[in-house]
Structure 1
C-alpha cells in the first residue's frame, strides 16, 4: 500500500516517508427574511445542543477511543466497516456519530460549526469521554478542527480527512445536489428498490456522477410507506455558506495532527499549507494515491493503515 507523503514542515510525524416529504423539515420562513432567520437561529446555538445519535464499537483495551465525524450528506454508517477493522487491529473503542440534520440525529434550523462542536462536546460529556482521538472527514473534519482549537483538552490526537481550515471553493456542486433532491417525487407504497431507482433517475439530470448519486441515495428512507430524505435539506440549503466556510481562530492546537488527503482531490492544496501550519503547528500532511475526496471509500485499507501508523507514532 504505497503512500505518497508531502510534509509541510518537520513535525512529530515526519519520521519517514416533492411528493417526497423531508423528514423533520419545517417552515421557518414565516414573516422573516433569511438573514434575520439565520441570526435568530444562531443566537440560540450556544445553549441548544442536540442529542446526537451514535454507534459504539467496543474494544478490549483501555486506550483513548477513536471518534469519527462524517461529511455533508453523510452519516455514522459511512465509517462502520472502518470502525470494525480499527477495533480488531487496535483494540480501541470506536464511536461513529451522526451530525445534527444528518442520519438519525435530530433536525435543527441551525447548521454551523459552533453548533456542531457544541453537540459533540455535549455527547462526549454524556458518555464521560474526557479525551479522544478525533477523526473527521470534510464537514466533519471542520467540526474536528473547531473542537481541537476551542477545547484542546478533549482531543489527544487529530486526523482531518481531505479538508483544510479554509473556505471550501473546490468546484462544489452542493447547491445543485440540494435542488435535485428537493425535486425528487416518489409515489407511496412501492418497493424500496423501485423507489431508489426512480430517485436516481430523477437525480441524474443535475447529479452527473453515479458515485455521488449513490452516496446521496443513502439518505433515502421509507417511513410508513412514504419515502423521504433523512437529511434536513432546508437547514443545509440555508447554511451552505456556513458549511463551506471555516471560523476565524487566533488560537492553536498543539497536539499531534494528521491531514490526510486524496491525491485526486483538490480539497487540501499547497495554498492551504500556511494556514494549516499556523493553526496546527504539529501537523503533517499525507496524500493517499488514486483516492478522491471520499478516501475511506476509495482506499479503505490505505486509510486504515495511515490511521494506525499515526496512532503508533
Structure 2
C-alpha cells in the first residue's frame, strides 16, 4: 500500500486512488466491527438470570451483525487498524488535492470577466479567440466536478467521504474568489459580479443534481462569495444603509472585509455611485485602527487542508449487510486459526 501511494503515477490517477480509498474504508469498517477492546469488556454476571440475559443479548447481536464475529483486539491488530486509518486519511487528501489542482486553472479564468481589446467587459456568450466564450470557463469547472463525482461513485467510495471532499472543494472555490475580491480592484466591479453570479447559478444547479447524499453542505461553503456577488450586482448602492448591508445582504462578512469591498467597488457598466459616505464612515469607526491599510491580508480566507472527518464518521455510515454476500477466502476458511471468520 505504501508503494502504491508513493508512486507519482498512482497519485495523479483519481480512479486508482478512489479504488483504494473505497476498499480500505471497507476494510477499516470490518475491522471496527470485528475488534473489541479488552478494556471495554463488561464484567461477568453473577446470577443465573443475568448470565441468561447476557447470552440472549450476545446471540441477538450476532444475529443482527450476521457477517462478522467480534474478537479480542490484540496489539498487532490494533496497530494494523491504526495504519489502515492513516491510509484512509492519506488517500483522501491525495484525491482532494488532485481535484484542487485540476480546478485551479479553470478558476483562474473565471475570477475576472474577459475584456475586449478596448478594455470593455465582453458579453458572457460572445466567442473569444479559439471559439471559446467566458461561459465555457465555468462549464469546464462543472465538467471537472461531474467527472470527479462519477469516479467516486463508480468506485463505491462511501458517500460520507464524497460529501467531505466536495465540501472542502467548494470551500476552496469560495476562498479563491473571495480573496480575489479583497485584493484585486479589477475584480470588484459590476460586470465581474455578473460574471461570477452566472457561475454560482451553475454551481447551485450542480449541487442540486448531485443531491445531498453526495454534495452535502457544499453550497453553503460559497457564502462569502455569494454575499459579495449579491453586493456587487446590487442596484442603487448609494441608498442602502450600513445595517442593511451587515444584517441582510452580507451578514457573514466582517466589517473589515465589507470596507475593503466597498472601497474597491467600481461600476464599470453604468457608472452608478457606490455606497454613501455615511456607510463608509460607519465601517471605519468600527474597524481596528491598524486594519484599513493592510491590503486585506489579515482577513483573507485560508485554504482548509485538514482531514474533516473522524473514522467513526466513516464506519457509522456503512452497513454490515453490505458485506453479507462476501465469502471468506478458501485459504482462510480451511485454516483452523481463522474459524472465527465463519458464522454458524
Shorter-chain TM-score: what band?
under 0.3
- The TM-score normalised by the length of structure 1 is 0.27
User: In terms of Rg, which structure is larger?
Assistant: 2
Give the structure with the larger helix fraction: 2
Structure number with the higher strand fraction is: 1
Higher relative CO (Cα under 8 Å, sequence separation at least 6) belongs to 1
